[in-house]
Structure 1
Amino acid sequence: MPNGSLDESLHLKSKRKKQLNLLERLNVAIDVARALEYLHHGLNTPIVHCDLKPSNFLLNHEMTGVVGDFGLAKLFPEAKAIVISRSLS
């Protein structure tokens, strides 16, 4: 990714010369929340990342956050069935 990881941007380890400002940090936090919401609720089989940390959250050329490194991710097909059964009761 062109802007590296969130970890690099927060700790000035990247080519970026300045720290993320408050609005950029807020937008990245929103991107993280949207990504987790999609993984947990937006798919037929929910996914739990299990290793979400700043170095696994990448920033594209528009500073939009993208979740990466799904090496420890777990699929939970039974979680969708539980949610559906609770909503029907």
Structure 2
Amino acid sequence: MPNGSLEKWLYSHNYFLDLMQRLDILIDVACALQHLHCEYSTLVIHCDLKPSNVLLDQDMVAHLSDFSLSHTWLSCTR
């Protein structure tokens, strides 16, 4: 992703996120998690959500990455 990870933007002195960018990223991540937990055909739990696993595209839209520790369930009761 062109803008790297959220970790770089949060912990580097060379990058800055204003309040609106932070809120937009938060909403992107929340929407992705909602899709994985509620709207995808199988329940997916990420299990490793952290700033280095949130990647930012050229428009600063957040995308989840690194699903190596994720768990899936074919059916669940909600």
Q: TM tier, shorter chain?
A: over 0.9
Deviation of 1:60 after TM superposition, in Å, equals 0.3
More strand by share: 2
Q: 1:18, 1:59 → 2: CA distance?
A: 13
Identity of aligned residues (%): 44
Q: 2:18, 2:10 → 1: CA distance?
A: 10
Deviation of 1:27 after TM superposition, in Å, equals 0.3
Gaps of 5+ in 1: 84-89
Contact 2:37 2:44 in 1 (8 A): yes
Q: Does 2:46 align with 1:49?
A: yes
Deviation of 1:22 after TM superposition, in Å, equals 0.3
Larger Rg: 1
The equivalent of 1:12 in structure 2 is 12
- Which amino acid in structure 2 is aligned with residue 37 of structure 1? Q
The equivalent of 1:87 in structure 2 is none
Gaps of 5+ in 2: none
**1:27-73, Cα deviation, whole Å (9 max, x unpaired):** 00001100000000111101000000000000000000000000001
Name segments (4+ residues, structure 1) moved above 2 Å: none
Q: 1:67, 1:38 → 2: CA distance?
A: 11
Q: TM-score, structure 2 length as denominator?
A: 0.93
More helix by share: 1
Relative contact order higher in (CA < 8 Å, ≥ 6 apart): 2
The equivalent of 2:61 in structure 1 is 64
The two structures, once aligned, show a CA RMSD in angstroms of: 1.2
Q: 2:33, 2:73 → 1: CA distance?
A: 14
Deviation of 1:18 after TM superposition, in Å, equals 3.5
